[in-house]
Amino acid sequence: MTEQNHEQNYGRLIVWGADRPGIVANVSAVLAEHGANVISLDQSSSGPEGGRFFQRTVFHLPELSAEIGALSRSLEANLGEELGLEFQLVEARRRKRVAVFVSRADHCLLDLLWRQRRGELPVTVSMVVSNHPDLGDDVRQFDIPFYHVPVDKDDKATAEREQLNLLKDNVDLLVLARYMQIVSGDFLDELGVPVINIHHSFLPAFVGASPYQQAKERGVKLVGATAHYVTEDLDEGPIIEQDVIRVSHRESVRDLQRKGADVERLVLSRAVSWHCEDRVIRDGNTTVVFQGGQ
Amino acid sequence: MTEQNHEQNYGRLIVWGADRPGIVANVSAVLAEHGANVISLDQSSSGPEGGRFFQRTVFHLPELSAEIGALSRSLEANLGEELGLEFQLVEARRRKRVAVFVSRADHCLLDLLWRQRRGELPVTVSMVVSNHPDLGDDVRQFDIPFYHVPVDKDDKATAEREQLNLLKDNVDLLVLARYMQIVSGDFLDELGVPVINIHHSFLPAFVGASPYQQAKERGVKLVGATAHYVTEDLDEGPIIEQDVIRVSHRESVRDLQRKGADVERLVLSRAVSWHCEDRVIRDGNTTVVFQGGQ
Amino acid sequence: MTEQNHEQNYGRLIVWGADRPGIVANVSAVLAEHGANVISLDQSSSGPEGGRFFQRTVFHLPELSAEIGALSRSLEANLGEELGLEFQLVEARRRKRVAVFVSRADHCLLDLLWRQRRGELPVTVSMVVSNHPDLGDDVRQFDIPFYHVPVDKDDKATAEREQLNLLKDNVDLLVLARYMQIVSGDFLDELGVPVINIHHSFLPAFVGASPYQQAKERGVKLVGATAHYVTEDLDEGPIIEQDVIRVSHRESVRDLQRKGADVERLVLSRAVSWHCEDRVIRDGNTTVVFQGGQ
Amino acid sequence: MTEQNHEQNYGRLIVWGADRPGIVANVSAVLAEHGANVISLDQSSSGPEGGRFFQRTVFHLPELSAEIGALSRSLEANLGEELGLEFQLVEARRRKRVAVFVSRADHCLLDLLWRQRRGELPVTVSMVVSNHPDLGDDVRQFDIPFYHVPVDKDDKATAEREQLNLLKDNVDLLVLARYMQIVSGDFLDELGVPVINIHHSFLPAFVGASPYQQAKERGVKLVGATAHYVTEDLDEGPIIEQDVIRVSHRESVRDLQRKGADVERLVLSRAVSWHCEDRVIRDGNTTVVFQGGQ
């Protein structure tokens, strides 16, 4: 339910931390005190004792924009100070600003832009940045700025500096939509917002380069794609979503690439959508993904 | 998590009715008052206004068996009388008693018995009843009583009377595991417990007899199975679970039956498992299925 | 393997008719006599006696364009006259000319155009025709002609006449990519080329209008899409491809439409691709689809 | 079509080797000369030049048992000596004799035995061998011999010697149905028949021990199973079949094991079935699997 009119006065509250009795009741009580009506609530624990607690709540609160500050202070007092929990409180109507990095392959990029235009993705795509100029025309047809930032393999720092100038404080999420360059740890640190990558294999199978070539050589019967948060360790970040498609010995590496491309764009669009609806919580090197609720 | 030791002092509370603000907080408060710790909570609404509300909560409460009466009275006062909601409160350790009706096909029956023996299905299979004697030996190897109740097509009432004598007050659920007889509305009324059927097609496609034959003739590219609650209207009851498998023109009706059999047993075992974990709520002619939580 | 350079001198031979001993050997012998090398061969029979025979052969023959006439005459003599079989002989390099009919929903149309541009679909999209002007800009960005032919519900014949003027002799296939109008039997007869439609349900479930609404009301746990050849009987033509996606009670009709849209575009693109690679043979009201080979 | 009466006088011919023009015609001609009628033919090449050729043909030949020797000599002369191809010629009615090795987990074993009894698997299970006595009763209920051969981890050679005494010349295939011991290269060499293993992960992800534990730790969103031929390199042999099932963060390692068990038994039964229908050809470290035909 991403429609503008449905989002007015809807809030999302994500709570996580060490599990202990009474958290759900506590959160519910704070929301009720402020006049919020719980629309959907999804909660889970990693175990009965010594476990971690995760809760995603969607609520409706008249005059949410005016009330959100007071609600946040109550939550801080009740959850943060008293229970040692962390939380995130957002207005559903504030769409996340997203930058997309891409190289030459267009399928993931165009799928994201088309879904956004169609109203399926609750985001604002602020810009597309590429190390190649090829996709500029396609992007600008969506009335989205396109920046060509070439990457010199002997001086990546210069390109990263230019990228950071474009992104810094302007985006809430960076999506690597088949961006064939490694981003440095320094870049991630300085950027300070989550980064989602699509890897063209079912991780942890076939890390690194040319996964379809590797898949062909190993003779697998399914190929897949993985969307994950980017960390300094290449292809090792927390997985958000994965899917696969059946292949046979008859198919060439190029056939695998084509079939895989359909999986890549579906998997990436799901991961971006879920992240932007605040459904994904990192839990160490894994993720909690809340599928239910609005 | 169906293990015996994990179930001690765990309760499940299912609440449903007309949606209104504050239900979640109210339920949480009652549970907290009684010292119950919420382990998982899954809640959804069919819409923001005039919608229906559904909540499944798993909680831990020391001495649950002693406390459950008092808790039930509090819920009745707070949810039933005050808010007009319905609820169901069960101890997880009380396994549902299940009877299975079967004809000659063994695949769904044996899968249920094998899963129960393996500890995957949190049920007690009290008896198997068949209109044919064929599967008696297979059933008794699991130390489960088998009753042969022949059905005379001109006098079904006699067989149903005998079946009711076996079942009445002895079971919490009846599963039709490829039972090739229609059960009457009177039988359903008098039995008074839910009945789950497996239909060997992706309903509402191919209702009635010989669905694989129908599927072959229509030339579909997927065949499926549907587990649903039985109502007086054949193949029209609320659907609990469905799945499909890919087929091709090369496959004969018999091949479809074989491939479909694998889907049937998976779909039926999921539906029975979910029902017995109190994850399924009927909502008119559809179902709410809570996949999360314990 | 749809690349231009791979298609030069490649031919496809499709043979079908009443099964009898020796057909494969006969076809092989004719091809060998003409110097053709069989690249892939996929053959099946509907049964050992009284069955129907289907064979798809891809072969390489130097100077195919010059030789194809002589080869066709040999096949006619050996298969047609002697064995009473039907056959179709095509050069792989001759791409089928495709027209697309669309109304307002863009997802199936854009997916086809994008796949064609990407080199995934071995077709030439000659034109797009719509009863609404909305998608004109999107289509023309692909350098493909767009024609707006309004349909007056009280005078469909006029629109069909105009459509036939555009299509007649200019296309080898018509694709209805979510075209929300019924085409008449007269139109189909006069057009004289195959027509593929995408229906937004898993046929034969939910024929007719508003299948996602019907699906929501029936409470199904999977929604699907079906690509089929169009016959005079609405939604009853031979099925080429189907697929499904899992849904839950939480999802609204609009959510089903969105999830279903992803299935629709995949299913339609597969069906068009297979048809244009001469992989699909009609067999009564069903289809034989050869998945193997080039 | 594994029924006895359908198999009489049906033969299967598998041909493989370096691709060159005319092989299909040559094979067809030899079969035709001997009066064989081709029922189904599935053929593929790994590439147009320098590729490898694979063909599986099912044919009907009256008095096959009497004629098979002569047919084999003709094939040897025409394919082996002249074209340098390898081939395998079998009578469909001769069911492969299969031994199953198992440890304590029963799901894969029971599924194979149940499918065989049901007529789904065209094999004769000659014996079950286990390093534990636990499953003896279950096996003997199927009237199949069960042998307990304990394995001393400091003297595996003794156990392998005992196993070889049981197997040697008595079986055509060995299936490791969750056998938790490594078999040595010497054992494989001496046994001299193919060995199929089920690995409880989507290889090459999670090789080695405790794949579900590894999967939980990596936070994957799908778990799978892989059936492969056993070679000296653990988990590295040619893959025959794979499949996956969706999981979420809510599921424990034990839940993954349970869901995975359903995938394991399906994947293993498909692999064994295909192998025993002569549908699988090894091609280096990959496999060609012919899905079509009888």
Closest CA to A55 of B19, B40, B46, B45: B40
What domain range is B176 assigned to? Answer: 96-289
Does the pLDDT value for residue D3 go beyond 50?
Answer: no
- Chain C: nearest CA to B123, how far in angstroms? 24
Per-residue pLDDT at A91: 96
pLDDT band of C235, cuts 50, 70, 90 = confident
Any idea what the CATH number is for the domain that residue B12 is in? 3.30.70.260
Catalytic residue positions of C, numbered: 235
Per-residue pLDDT at B3: 41
Per-residue pLDDT at B46: 75
pLDDT band of B1, cuts 50, 70, 90 = very low
Instruction: Name the pairing type of β-strands D239-246 and D286-289.
Output: unpaired
Do both D62 and D112 map to the same domain?
no
Per-residue pLDDT at C4: 43
Any idea what the CATH number is for the domain that residue B146 is in? 3.40.50.170
D1/B114 touch (CB, cutoff 8 Å), yes or no: no
The separation between the first and the last C-alpha atoms of chain A, rounded to the nearest angstrom, is 6
Closest CA to C109 of C92, C128, C123: C128
Q: Which of D1, D114, D250 sits opposite B292 (nearest CB)?
A: D250
B32/A25 touch (CB, cutoff 8 Å), yes or no: yes
- Chain B: nearest CA to C285, how far in angstroms? 7
Residue B124 tokens read as: 């007690």
CA distance C239 to C221: 22
- In Å, how far from its chain's centre is CA C242? 13
Number of A–B residue contacts, CB under 8 Å: 64
Neighbouring CB atoms inside 10 A of D209's CB total 8
D283/A238 touch (CB, cutoff 8 Å), yes or no: no
Q: Which residues of chain B have a CB within 8 Å of the CB of C240?
A: 221
Q: Is C219 on the interface with D (CB under 8 A)?
A: no
C285/B219 touch (CB, cutoff 8 Å), yes or no: yes
Q: Which residues of chain A have a CB within 8 Å of the CB of B43?
A: 38, 40-42
Q: State percent of chain A over pLDDT 90.
A: 82
Do both C107 and C70 map to the same domain?
no
Closest CA to D241 of D210, D197, D192, D277: D197
Whether A294 is in a domain gets the answer: no
Per-residue pLDDT at A149: 97
Whether C294 is in a domain gets the answer: no
pLDDT band of C288, cuts 50, 70, 90 = very high
Please give the C-alpha separations between residue A184 and each of A174, A233, A234, C291, in angstroms, as whole numbers.
14, 10, 10, 44
Name residues whose C-beta falls within 8 Å of residue C276's C-beta, 6 or more positions apart in sequence.
C95, C96, C98, C121, C122, C123, C173
From B42, B58, B91, give the residue that closes a domain. B91
Please give the C-alpha separations between residue A113 and each of A141, C57, C195, in angstroms, as whole numbers.
10, 41, 31
Please name the residue that has the structure tokens 């000319």: C97
CA distance C263 to C242: 9
- All partners of chain C with 3 or more CB pairs under 8 angstroms: A, B, D
Closest CA to D256 of D228, D227, D214, D226: D214
Q: For A258, which residue in chain C has the nearest alpha carbon? A: C120
State mean pLDDT over D25-53. 84
Please give the C-alpha separations between residue B100 and each of B79, B112, B146, B147, B173, in angstroms, as whole numbers.
35, 9, 10, 10, 9
- All partners of chain A with 3 or more CB pairs under 8 angstroms: B, C, D
Q: Is D250 on the interface with B (CB under 8 A)?
A: yes
C292/D292 touch (CB, cutoff 8 Å), yes or no: yes
Do both C111 and C140 map to the same domain?
yes
- Chain A: nearest CA to D291, how far in angstroms? 10
Per-residue pLDDT at C48: 59
Q: Which of A110, A254, A266 sits opposite C114 (nearest CB)?
A: A110
- Chain B: nearest CA to A98, how far in angstroms? 29
Q: State percent of chain B over pLDDT 90.
A: 82
Which of D109, D118, D273 is most worth mutating to test chain B (most B CB atoms within 10 A of its CB)?
Answer: D118
Name residues whose C-beta falls within 8 Å of residue B192's C-beta, 6 or more positions apart in sequence.
none
pLDDT band of A49, cuts 50, 70, 90 = low
CA distance D20 to A188: 54
Closest CA to D228 of D267, D184, D190: D267
Residue type, A244: V
Binning chain C into helix, strand and coil, the percentages to the nearest 5 are 35, 30, 35
Do both B56 and B118 map to the same domain?
no
Q: Is D77 on the interface with C (CB under 8 A)?
A: no
pLDDT band of B233, cuts 50, 70, 90 = confident
From B63, B91, B119, give the residue that closes a domain. B91
Q: Is A208 on the interface with B (CB under 8 A)?
A: no
- Summarised one tens digit per residue, pLDDT across range D167-193 is 999 999 999 999 999 999 999 999 999
Do both C87 and C102 map to the same domain?
no
Cβ(D3)–Cβ(D119) under 8 Å? yes
- Summarised one tens digit per residue, pLDDT across range A188-227 is 999 999 999 999 999 999 998 899 999 999 999 999 999 9
Q: What is the DSSP code string of D112-129?
A: HHHHHHHT-S-EEEEEEE
CA distance D278 to D294: 10
Does the pLDDT value for residue D58 go beyond 70?
Answer: yes
Q: Is B250 on the interface with D (CB under 8 A)?
A: yes
Q: Which residues pair with A124 in a beta bridge?
A: A97
DSSP D80: I
Q: How many domains in chain C?
A: 2
From D41, D75, D91, give the residue that closes a domain. D91
Residue D176 tokens read as: 């490791």
Do both B201 and B274 map to the same domain?
yes
- HEC letters along chain A: CCCHHHHCCEEEEEEEEECCCCHHHHHHHHHHHCCCEEEEEEEEECCCCCCEEEEEEEEECCCHHHHHHHHHHHHHHHHHHHHCCEEEEEECCCCEEEEEEECCCCHHHHHHHHHHHHCCCCEEEEEEEECCCCCHHHHHCCCCCEEECCCECCEHHHHHHHHHHHHCCCCCEEEECCCCCCCCHHHHHHHCCCEEEEECCCCCCCCCCCHHHHHHHHCCCEEEEEEEECCCCCCCCCEEEEEEEECCCCCCHHHHHHHHHHHHHHHHHHHHHHHHCCCEEEECCEEEECCCCC
Does the pLDDT value for residue A156 go beyond 50?
Answer: yes
Does the pLDDT value for residue B161 go beyond 80?
Answer: yes
D218/A204 touch (CB, cutoff 8 Å), yes or no: yes
Do both D134 and D191 map to the same domain?
yes
Q: For A291, which residue in chain D has the nearest alpha carbon? A: D248
Q: Is C80 helix (H, G, I), strand (E, B) or coil?
A: helix
pLDDT greater at residue C2 or residue A145: A145
Q: Is C239 helix (H, G, I), strand (E, B) or coil?
A: strand
Neighbouring CB atoms inside 10 A of B210's CB total 13
Work out whether the CA dihedral C273, C279, C284, C285 comes out positive or negative: negative
Q: For D292, which residue in chain C has the nearest alpha carbon? A: C44
Q: Is D258 on the interface with B (CB under 8 A)?
A: yes
Residue type, B72: S
DSSP C152: B
B293/D250 touch (CB, cutoff 8 Å), yes or no: yes
Residue type, B30: V
D43/C41 touch (CB, cutoff 8 Å), yes or no: yes
Q: Long-range pairs for A253-256 at CB < 8 Å and ≥24 separation?
A: A253/A212, A253/A213, A253/A216, A254/C1, A255/C1, A256/A212, A256/A215, A256/A216, A256/A223
Do both B239 and B168 map to the same domain?
yes
Give the B window 114-173 contacts with D, CB below 8 Å. Answer: 114, 118, 120, 141
State mean pLDDT over C142-170. 96
Per-residue pLDDT at D37: 85
CA distance D284 to D286: 6
Cβ(D278)–Cβ(D96) under 8 Å? no
Q: Is C21 on the interface with D (CB under 8 A)?
A: yes
- Summarised one tens digit per residue, pLDDT across range D86-106 is 999 999 999 999 999 999 999
Whether B294 is in a domain gets the answer: no
Q: State percent of chain D over pLDDT 90.
A: 82
Do both B60 and B142 map to the same domain?
no
Closest CA to C97 of C119, C59, C128, C138: C128
Per-residue pLDDT at C74: 96
Does the pLDDT value for residue A234 go beyond 90?
Answer: no
User: Over chain C, what is the mean pLDDT?
Assistant: 92
Catalytic residue positions of B, numbered: 235
CA distance A254 to C8: 19
Give the A window 273-292 contacts with D, CB below 8 Å. Answer: 283, 285-289, 291
- Summarised one tens digit per residue, pLDDT across range D211-254 is 999 999 999 999 999 999 999 988 899 999 999 999 999 899 99
Q: Which of C220, C242, C287 sits opposite B239 (nearest CB)?
A: C220
D292/C44 touch (CB, cutoff 8 Å), yes or no: yes
- Please state whether the peptide bond connecting residue A194 to the residue before it is cis, i.e. omega within 30 degrees of 0: no
pLDDT band of A39, cuts 50, 70, 90 = confident
Whether B145 is in a domain gets the answer: yes
Per-residue pLDDT at D1: 38
Per-residue pLDDT at A6: 61
Do both C24 and C122 map to the same domain?
no
- Chain B: nearest CA to A271, how far in angstroms? 19
Q: Which residues of chain B have a CB within 8 Å of the CB of A37?
A: 21-22
pLDDT greater at residue B41 or residue D100: D100
Per-residue pLDDT at A4: 43
Cβ(B120)–Cβ(D258) under 8 Å? yes
Q: Is D9 on the interface with C (CB under 8 A)?
A: no
Q: Is C271 helix (H, G, I), strand (E, B) or coil?
A: helix
Q: Is C243 on the interface with A (CB under 8 A)?
A: no
Do both A64 and A132 map to the same domain?
no
Q: Which of A42, A172, A235, A243 is catalytic?
A: A235
Whether A257 is in a domain gets the answer: yes
Do both D118 and D258 map to the same domain?
yes
